[in-house]
Chains A and B, each alone.
Chain A
Amino acid sequence: MSGNKTINYASDRKYSETHEWVKMEGELAVVGISDYAQDALGDVVFVELPKVGATVSAGAQFGVVESVKAASDIFSPISGTVAAVNEKLSSAPETLNQDSLSAGWIAKIKPSNPAEMNKLMDAATYQKKIEAGEIH
């Protein structure tokens, strides 16, 4: 939205159409929101995290990110069980703006159907779709 700085479409992970990223780390899928999404939201003031142990399914809402003037649901890009959440976001939600691709991760999920990863987009496709205005 600001359009002034370059968006980082990190190519080491997959993306969903609702702007979440997933990256496998061993057994666990790490989930966060894309750099494009954090930039569009503006200053993040609050993150509602999923509960550890909760079962999530791909495409279902499992958290919320709030900025001053917007609230955006976070959808789990993959099905499974929540193994860990990034507690740091509760006390320092600005981490999402500073580094949404690593320090600002949201949850780690133990996938119940790892094949779902194949349905997600790679970085190039995600970037192309955004630039073409196919997803907002």
Chain B
Amino acid sequence: MTHRFIPNTDADRAAMLKTIGVASVQDLFRDVPASAQLTKINLPRALSEMELLNELNAMATRNANLNEHACFLGAGAYNHFVPATVPHLIFRSEFYTAYTPYQAEISQGTLQTIFEYQSLICNLTGMDAANASHYDGATATAEAAILAVNAVPGRDKIIVAPTLHPEYRATLRTYLEGQDVKIVGDEDLKLPLDAILKKHLDDKTAGVIVQNPDFLGAYHDLKSTADRVHAAGALFIVNAYPISLGLFRAPGEYGADVVVGEGQSLGNAIAFGGPYLGIFATKEKYIRRMAGRLVGQTVDTTGRRGFTLTLQAREQHIRREKATSNICTNQALNALAACVYLSTLGKSGFKQVAELCYHKAHYAAKKINALPGYRVDLKKEFFNEFVVECPAPVSKINAALESRKIIGGYDLSRDYPHMKNAMLVAVTEMNAKEQIDQLVKTLAEATSSKRKAKSRK
């Protein structure tokens, strides 16, 4: 019996081989060296759908999922509410089993949704053009650096703030590995942005990359930074958390030339880190230096509005080794999720999500700061994420939280060795007051028992 996903039967195949004019399927593989042809392969046995589902469910059960746990972990991947419209629409066959809209006439669905996504992102970021092509926040950031280096000829330096996500900084370095570009700014993780610019910003600088709110949650007023970067002739690249833009000023308003970000929070499953969505938007001036697919509005031969891939001469399939990037993907399904998400929440709902994040996070921060041994810098401006200085190692505290079905914050000592016992806590609209109160209570218990243990010694 042939496998269930293959429709043809032995009789079908026999008829086809006859038309082809060969005796057997082996005749079609004569050009594959006989010595390299496999006789067997070491894989597990085939499973029926029923057996496979049982196995997958058994595997999934061994993962603590966020339906059953309160989540205070963010650090680039956030637990936000996803309206029912999103999964319903993105799992329509017409969207998820189509490909890149090469044939525009019968791909208008994908094309118009990407155009709408581009428009929504432009409105959020205050930019003129956006694409839907990047894999995630890390790679979008790296491609923004490449844009800067190409846009400002003769300059070979990129300055990154140490508070740009550590994995984004790592990805940036890998991407620029083969090119003669220096990446500086994060050699001293403690240095504030002003001091970094003073040290590095010069006429060799092509771009400056800042995350806002930064990886540690702090929100910065970046207008004067943008002016300073522009005065030096460099591009100002802002990595923004899209939900925060429901409340805070668009980076375009304070001088960003390129806005990038992780689009996961816009309706995409948290899914152990992917697939996510790289937000990438820029000003009109730099459109032709953008990587990836762009959709443009035009008309058909009868004058009707229609959409098509455009400005393709930038891309790898035409410009080959001179292309702006090797990117071929457009992250269309994730962009569609973002598009449906932003449309469903709309003007008031999206703002409300941002406000809920803000108020709940501030409530949590104040409560935690009031606990003995814990400290949060409440003078710093932040959105929904903040650093908690803890009286014990974060791993120990998180273990205590785990026993109460709470997923605690990110252990900052992993990436910032000077931040011992520092936990990055994220709060979203998904955290009801009772969850926050439970978190605060468990934090208190975790350390009071610890203090008791200490005093017994």
Do A and B contact each other directly (Cβ–Cβ < 8 Å)?
A: yes
- List A residues at the B interface (Cβ < 8 Å): 45-46, 48, 66-71, 73
Q: From residue B151, how far is it (CB to closest CB) to chain A in Å?
A: 12
| Residues 3-47 of chain B, each 1 if its beta carbon lies under 8 Å from chain A, else 0 | 000000000000000000000000000000000000000000000
B293-350: which have CB < 8 Å to A? 311-314, 318-319, 322
> CB within 8 A of A67: which of B288, B313, B319, B322?
B313
By CB atoms of chain B within 10 A, which of A45, A66, A67, A73 has the most? Answer: A66
Q: Are B312 and A69 in contact (CB under 8 A)?
A: yes
Q: Are A70 and B288 in contact (CB under 8 A)?
A: no
Q: List 5 A-B contacts (CB under 8 A).
A: A68-B312, A69-B312, A71-B314, A71-B319, A73-B322
In the assembled complex, the Cα of A66 lies from the Cα of B313 at a distance in Å of 6
Which residue of A is nearest B153, CB measured?
A51
Which residue of A is nearest B315, CB measured?
A71
In the assembled complex, the Cα of A68 lies from the Cα of B311 at a distance in Å of 7
In the assembled complex, the Cα of A73 lies from the Cα of B312 at a distance in Å of 15
In the assembled complex, the Cα of A67 lies from the Cα of B310 at a distance in Å of 11
Please, which residues of chain B bring their CB within 8 A of the CB of A45? 313
Please, which residues of chain A bring their CB within 8 A of the CB of B311? 46
In the assembled complex, the Cα of A68 lies from the Cα of B310 at a distance in Å of 8
B267-315: which have CB < 8 Å to A? 288, 311-314
> CB within 8 A of B318: which of A48, A70, A73?
A70
Please, which residues of chain A bring their CB within 8 A of the CB of B319? 71
Please, which residues of chain A bring their CB within 8 A of the CB of B288? 46, 48
In the assembled complex, the Cα of A92 lies from the Cα of B313 at a distance in Å of 18
Which residue of A is nearest B317, CB measured?
A69
Q: From residue B233, how far is it (CB to closest CB) to chain A in Å?
A: 15
A46-B311, A68-B313 given. 6 additional CB < 8 A pairs? A67-B313, A68-B312, A70-B313, A70-B318, A71-B314, A71-B318
In the assembled complex, the Cα of A70 lies from the Cα of B315 at a distance in Å of 10
In the assembled complex, the Cα of A66 lies from the Cα of B311 at a distance in Å of 9
In the assembled complex, the Cα of A71 lies from the Cα of B319 at a distance in Å of 6
Q: From residue B68, how far is it (CB to closest CB) to chain A in Å?
A: 53
Q: From residue B67, how far is it (CB to closest CB) to chain A in Å?
A: 48
In the assembled complex, the Cα of A55 lies from the Cα of B314 at a distance in Å of 25
Which residue of A is nearest B310, CB measured?
A68
Q: From residue A60, how far is it (CB to closest CB) to chain B in Å?
A: 14
In the assembled complex, the Cα of A48 lies from the Cα of B313 at a distance in Å of 12
In the assembled complex, the Cα of A73 lies from the Cα of B313 at a distance in Å of 11
In the assembled complex, the Cα of A71 lies from the Cα of B314 at a distance in Å of 8
Please, which residues of chain A bring their CB within 8 A of the CB of B322? 71, 73
Q: From residue B51, how far is it (CB to closest CB) to chain A in Å?
A: 49
Please, which residues of chain A bring their CB within 8 A of the CB of B318? 69-71
Which residue of B is nearest A71, CB measured?
B313
Please, which residues of chain A bring their CB within 8 A of the CB of B313? 45-46, 66-71
Which residue of B is nearest A64, CB measured?
B313
In the assembled complex, the Cα of A67 lies from the Cα of B311 at a distance in Å of 9
In the assembled complex, the Cα of A48 lies from the Cα of B318 at a distance in Å of 16
Which residue of B is nearest A48, CB measured?
B288
Please, which residues of chain B bring their CB within 8 A of the CB of A70? 313, 318
In the assembled complex, the Cα of A96 lies from the Cα of B319 at a distance in Å of 20
In the assembled complex, the Cα of A48 lies from the Cα of B312 at a distance in Å of 15
Q: From residue A53, how far is it (CB to closest CB) to chain B in Å?
A: 13
In the assembled complex, the Cα of A71 lies from the Cα of B288 at a distance in Å of 12
In the assembled complex, the Cα of A45 lies from the Cα of B312 at a distance in Å of 11
Q: From residue B297, how far is it (CB to closest CB) to chain A in Å?
A: 15
Please, which residues of chain A bring their CB within 8 A of the CB of B314? 71
Please, which residues of chain B bring their CB within 8 A of the CB of A68? 312-313
In the assembled complex, the Cα of A89 lies from the Cα of B322 at a distance in Å of 22
Which residue of B is nearest A67, CB measured?
B313
Please, which residues of chain B bring their CB within 8 A of the CB of A67? 313
Please, which residues of chain A bring their CB within 8 A of the CB of B312? 68-69
Please, which residues of chain B bring their CB within 8 A of the CB of A71? 313-314, 318-319, 322
Please, which residues of chain B bring their CB within 8 A of the CB of A48? 288
In the assembled complex, the Cα of A46 lies from the Cα of B288 at a distance in Å of 10
By CB atoms of chain B within 10 A, which of A48, A69, A70, A71 has the most? Answer: A71
Q: From residue A47, how far is it (CB to closest CB) to chain B in Å?
A: 11
Which residue of B is nearest A66, CB measured?
B313
Q: From residue A11, how far is it (CB to closest CB) to chain B in Å?
A: 32
B401-433: which have CB < 8 Å to A? none
In the assembled complex, the Cα of A71 lies from the Cα of B312 at a distance in Å of 9
Q: From residue A50, how far is it (CB to closest CB) to chain B in Å?
A: 12
Which residue of B is nearest A73, CB measured?
B322
Q: From residue A56, how far is it (CB to closest CB) to chain B in Å?
A: 14
| Residues 384-405 of chain B, each 1 if its beta carbon lies under 8 Å from chain A, else 0 | 0000000000000000000000
In the assembled complex, the Cα of A46 lies from the Cα of B313 at a distance in Å of 10
Which residue of A is nearest B314, CB measured?
A71
In the assembled complex, the Cα of A101 lies from the Cα of B311 at a distance in Å of 26
Shortest Cβ-Cβ A-B pairs, 4 listed:
A71-B313, A66-B313, A71-B319, A71-B318
In the assembled complex, the Cα of A69 lies from the Cα of B319 at a distance in Å of 10
In the assembled complex, the Cα of A45 lies from the Cα of B12 at a distance in Å of 50
In the assembled complex, the Cα of A71 lies from the Cα of B316 at a distance in Å of 11
In the assembled complex, the Cα of A119 lies from the Cα of B319 at a distance in Å of 29
Q: From residue B367, how far is it (CB to closest CB) to chain A in Å?
A: 57
Q: From residue A71, how far is it (CB to closest CB) to chain B in Å?
A: 4
Please, which residues of chain B bring their CB within 8 A of the CB of A46? 288, 311, 313
